[in-house]
Amino acid sequence: MRIVIVGGGVVGQNLAEELAHEDHDLTVIDRDPAVVQTLSERLDVFALAGDGGSPRVLEEAGVRDAEMVVAVTDSDHLNMFICLLAETMGVKNKLARVRNDEYAQPRSLELIRRKLSIDRIINPEALVVEHVAKIIAAPGATDAHELADGQILVHSFNIHSGVALAGKRLKEVRPLLPDEPFLIVSLSRNGQMIIPGGDDEILIGDHITVVMGRGALPRFLPLVERRRLALERAFVFDAGRLGLAVTRMIERAVPNVVVFEPDAKRANDAALALDWSLVVKGSATELDLLQEYDLRTCDLFVAASDDEEENLLAALLARRHGARKTIVITSRHANVPLLASTGIDVVIEPKILTVSEILSHVRGGRVLSVAKVEGDAEAIELLATRHAPLVGKPLREVDIPRGVLIGAIIRREAGGRVEVPTGDSVVQPLDKVIVFTLPEARAQAEALVSAGQ
């Protein structure tokens, strides 16, 4: 597929890096010549320096021959205008990153799609809010994704001392919940991820990723949590656009919410905009202020400030002085290992969530949805095709590539029943298959399930 990406920031670069390995003909446009040079040196793409909102530059990039344009610059208006220009140049598929909540409202969304012919609007802040909501719904989870319209959950957990899974071999785990569909698809230890086998042991300090049917979550959680306490009190830092969006969602799930905002005007505006939360003028980096509002009673602390250093400091203070669970939202990919090493429970990257969302649309066809897990690994929802190698025979007879694991099967003939596969399982055409794959095996994983006509 010929794809033009406009915007060479973190989202554009990550997207180009993913797609460069997938046999696409890629062009990336960015205003900054240094960014263009870096992309040209790192990736097999045609990178062009120029204004993505210029018809001349789009022509030079070959937009008239492109099948898709993805506009991910830092400007909502520019992204929408680029899609409008692409429509006039005959491009069939147009995606735009738009962060303003006003454009996400149903009436605005319909108007934008009809008048600007944008096929998909992707709002990173909405993706973050949804992600935090999923984590709140799964106590103990450090990451949470949904596939197959929410039928399948892909959740990650840290293994602490005293939990039921600690010390168990994988072949001993399945009998703990014999009637529930779940499968541990990856195990990370000392920074190394493996796709485990039945004899691998789960140790304290390990990080696991689990694929499960939605209904299995309530019974699975006691295996990874020593005790499940209700969320009674949450702190949010700060009251910027993202912080407000997160707070509005948390208000629906947590009875007592405190928002810390250093700026007087923003604090006042937030107090007027929020229904139930207490807004405090002050920074969550001030320990005395946190303790004044009894940090030890905080069940959930979310650091959503635009200031990376203050976010980290606030979360570390909260973690050290009694907050039960800490979430940090970061825009810097390089900060993720640092944050994870400090004991922060959950690190969320809006730009990586955005890339995952875009990938589902770019890949299209038989790739129904994608969740990036543990950095570069993926859980992919695929539609099984009649002549694919996986279809029509027991899985034990299928040559499954190294780095690939079949996590779940959603049966078309059984009304969408979720099944954890065994060696005797036979995938039928038009079943949906959840595949967990390491990056080097992704193409093989897709060909295994969805190859042929």
Which domains, and CATH codes, for the chain?
2-122 (3.40.50.720), 140-224 (3.30.70.1450), 233-352 (3.40.50.720), 384-450 (3.30.70.1450)
pLDDT of amino acid 297:
96
Is residue 367 within 8 A of residue 382, CB to CB? The reply is: yes
CA distance 256 to 280: 13
Terminus-to-terminus CA distance in the chain, angstroms?
Answer: 18
| 168-187 residue pLDDT tens | 999 999 999 999 999 999 99
CA separation, residue 193 to residues 189, 206, 207, 439, 451 (Å): 7, 10, 9, 12, 27
Per-residue tokens: 35? 């960014």
CA distance 249 to 130: 9
CA distance 96 to 82: 9
Q: What is the pTM of this model?
A: 0.91
Is residue 86 within 8 A of residue 116, CB to CB? The reply is: no
For 280-294, letters b (16+ CB in 10 Å) and e give bbbbbbeeeebeebe
**Sequence-distant (≥ 6) Cβ neighbours of residue 54 within 8 angstroms:** none
CA dihedral 112, 114, 120, 121 (to 10 degrees): 10
pLDDT of amino acid 105:
72
For 225-255, letters b (16+ CB in 10 Å) and e give beeeeebebbbbbbbbebbbbbbbbbbeebe
pLDDT of amino acid 103:
77
Rounded to 5 degrees, what angle do the CA atoms 53, 55, 57 make?
80
Is residue 335 within 8 A of residue 308, CB to CB? The reply is: yes
pLDDT along the chain (453 residues), means of 10: 94 89 90 95 94 96 96 94 95 92 74 80 93 93 94 95 95 94 94 90 96 95 87 96 96 96 97 96 96 96 94 94 94 76 89 88 85 87 95 96 95 90 95 94 93 62
